[in-house]
Amino acid sequence: MSVRTTSSSAAHYGEIARIGKALGSPVRLRLLDLLRQGTRSVEALAVAAGESVANSSQHLQQMRTAGLVVGERRGQHVEYRLAAERVSSAFAALRDLAEAVRPEMARLGRELGVLAPEERRDLVRRIRRGEVTLVDVRPAPEFRAGHLPGARSIPLSELRARMDELPRGREVVAYCRGPYCSLAQDAVALLAAAGFRARHLDLGVPDLRALGHPVVTGDGAPAPVRPDRPRARSPRSPG
């Protein structure tokens, strides 16, 4: 094997490392998780992530260079989205890996009320059978980008003022962005204090969609899944 062939065959490690470097920041991972909920402007991402616009823009540019996100100018703003659904899957796989090999994740899971697998499956079955009142406590733009069928959009910031919209004779299940999002837990605390029977679902829309659960957009249409970009293949002989 020639030196050139050896170098070319090893170059893929460098390309994989570019992805690893782009993901090697808690801020970038947070921004990526927010983009799993739907397209957002830089300004909206900055607010949701608790970062400055300048810092958020810098991190987004790094992920854009790596091919993880796409930015498009809309008027005075730049809106970002995931480059492909596979990026969302990669984030979930990285989170699963952290849960498997990082003991600290277990403590964080207990603090945030991550459910046991059987408890989660039972709750999802009850939701699908329509036995509970389902409340999406994410901001309204995230709800419109994709939500569970039958869910009511009541952002956490509006929940206290809108509790009279919820029937008291049924259990209320709140959900937000995923296992480590605290919005649903905060919603359950507010609801319980007001006398509701309430629980939280610790899966977000991207996680449920990956499991094959239906997701709808704000107008009730099926939520679009962005196809992966076709990969260019260089011609080569088999083997």
Q: Give the span between the Cα atoms of 167 and 72, in whole angstroms.
A: 42
Q: Give the span between the Cα atoms of 148 and 143, in whole angstroms.
A: 9
CA angle centred on 72, ends 143 and 67, rounded to 5°: 95
Q: Which amino acid is at 81?
A: R
Q: What is the DSSP pairing of strand 172-175 with strand 198-201?
A: parallel
Question: Do 178 and 203 touch, CB atoms closer than 8 A?
Answer: yes
Q: What is the CA radius of gyration of the chain?
A: 20
- The set of catalytic residues is 176
End-to-end CA distance of the chain: 14
